[in-house]
């Protein structure tokens, strides 16, 4: 997978919030095989006395850092947070979140496009958290984004792909744009479904961090993403409206009473 001229071997991206301990976090990252982790600027206070040392912790994993603007509710707030994140984490990558609804955590498409246009002009490599709306997607690409991250379901809901047909349409409409399903994935089977639709990667957090065994769940998601991608590349059989026998009937012996063997 290639994202902004960076080649990656894993198609799973992991968040770093809500884990029961730093050790579980680092073990889960290793078990998943992921090469990109998202980090909120709020998780680390560089140069502040008493800092929790989160930045050295995630650096030690060897994963590439994708800072995010989680919790921002306006374009200006997101742009300011992105600028601070670039200074703190030393990367032009930014996961752009501009929340428009406090209950659903649905992105604000208008503020999202506005912030994306400003950040792309400033040299950021933007990963916008968006919906499956094709018009918004086109506006984000016009703004300079080279990756799109449509949601599967509301953040932290674990409901999987609520609009699989819309997501499939998005995949077909933008065949050459890297597409990452972000948010709402609650089970490895849901991640595999996204990959079977042809998406390039999956980003998730809560399903691993809040699992009974986060390390085992991280490993399960890593395998599910790989399996889903392999299935897509192999070519899934199309669904059928009626049963079709896998063994041909023609040529079989007739074993009914009075039948011909």
Backbone angles phi, psi at 61, to 5 degrees: -70, -20
Euclidean distance between CA atoms 139 and 174, whole angstroms? 13
> How would residue 14 be classed by pLDDT, with cut points 50, 70 and 90?
very high
pLDDT value for 258: 67
Least confident of 11-25, 47-61, 102-116, 138-152: 47-61
Burial (CB < 10 A; 0-12, 13-18, 19+), residue 201, is buried
Give the residue extent of every domain in the chain.
Answer: 15-234
C-alpha 209 chain-centroid distance: 15
Tens digits of residue pLDDT in 49-69: 444 678 788 888 999 999 999
Q: Please give the positions annotated as active site.
A: 95
Alpha-carbon distance values, 86 to 5, 58, 69, 140, 206 (Å) = 18, 16, 11, 20, 25
Q: What is the mean pLDDT of residues 85-107?
A: 93
Tens digits of residue pLDDT in 209-261: 999 999 999 999 999 999 999 999 999 988 888 888 887 767 666 677 766 55
Q: Is 206 annotated as a binding residue?
A: yes
Q: Is 220 annotated as a binding residue?
A: no
Euclidean distance between CA atoms 209 and 214, whole angstroms? 6
Instruction: Count Cβ atoms below 10 Å from residue 122 Cβ, excluding itself.
Output: 14
pLDDT value for 56: 85
Contacts of 215 (CB under 8 A, 6+ apart): 24, 27, 28, 31
Q: Is 69 annotated as a binding residue?
A: no
Whether residue 48 has pLDDT greater than 60: no
Q: Is 184 annotated as a binding residue?
A: yes
Instruction: Count Cβ atoms below 10 Å from residue 77 Cβ, excluding itself.
Output: 16
CATH superfamily of the domain spanning 15-234: Aldolase class I (3.20.20.70)
pLDDT value for 104: 87
Euclidean distance between CA atoms 131 and 137, whole angstroms? 8
């Amino acid at each position: 997978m290639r994202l902004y001229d960076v080649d990656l071997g894993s198609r799973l991206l992991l968040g770093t919030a809500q884990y029961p301990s730093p050790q579980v976090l680092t073990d889960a990252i290793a078990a998943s095989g992921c090469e990109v982790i998202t980090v909120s600027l709020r998780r680390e206070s560089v140069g502040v006395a008493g800092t929790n040392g989160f930045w050295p912790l995630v650096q030690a994993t060897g994963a590439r850092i994708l800072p995010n603007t989680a919790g921002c509710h306006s374009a200006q707030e997101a742009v300011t947070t992105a600028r601070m994140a670039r200074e703190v984490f030393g990367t032009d990558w930014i996961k752009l979140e501009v929340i428009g609804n406090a209950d659903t955590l649905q992105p604000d498409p208008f503020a999202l496009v506005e912030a994306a246009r400003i950040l792309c002009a400033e040299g950021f490599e933007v990963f916008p958290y968006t919906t499956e709306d094709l018009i918004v997607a086109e506006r984000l690409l016009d703004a300079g984004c080279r990756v799109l991250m449509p949601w599967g379901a509301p953040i932290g809901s674990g409901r999987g792909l609520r609009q699989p047909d819309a997501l499939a349409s998005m995949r077909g409409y933008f065949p050459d744009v890297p597409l990452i399903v972000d948010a709402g994935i609650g089970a490895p089977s849901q991640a595999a479904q996204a990959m079977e639709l042809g998406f390039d990667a999956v980003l998730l957090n809560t399903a691993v961090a809040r699992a009974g065994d986060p390390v085992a769940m991280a490993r399960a998601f890593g395998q599910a993403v790989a399996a889903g991608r392999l299935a897509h590349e192999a070519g899934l059989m199309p669904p059928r409206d009626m049963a079709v026998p896998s063994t041909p009937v023609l040529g079989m012996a007739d074993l009914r009473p009075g039948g011909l063997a």
